[in-house]
Structure 1
């Protein structure tokens, strides 16, 4: 959520988010992040303006 708070209005792809946070870019790590982002979407904290894209809800 910190990355979304620091860049309000920006739409992130999972790989872009990994790059920004300095996380490993291996597929298992990306899948975990994708799962976490999906959970945040279901909780209403993030929106999904397009397939594979995530943005903080206003």
Structure 2
């Protein structure tokens, strides 16, 4: 049990967690959540066309 509280072991665990979080952030930073502008414009135009025909 004393091995878990060794400063070297704690340092390695903390550094591992930090490196893992940084790698996860770098991976998810380039993800796109919303559609691209041209796709969004096409969807908005289709929406306007659909609702203008009804009203």
TM-score (norm 2): 0.36
Considering fraction of residues, name the structure with more strand: 1
Considering fraction of residues, name the structure with more helix: 2
TM-score (norm 1): 0.34
Structure of higher CA gyration radius: 2
Higher RCO (C-alpha 8 Å, min separation 6) = 1
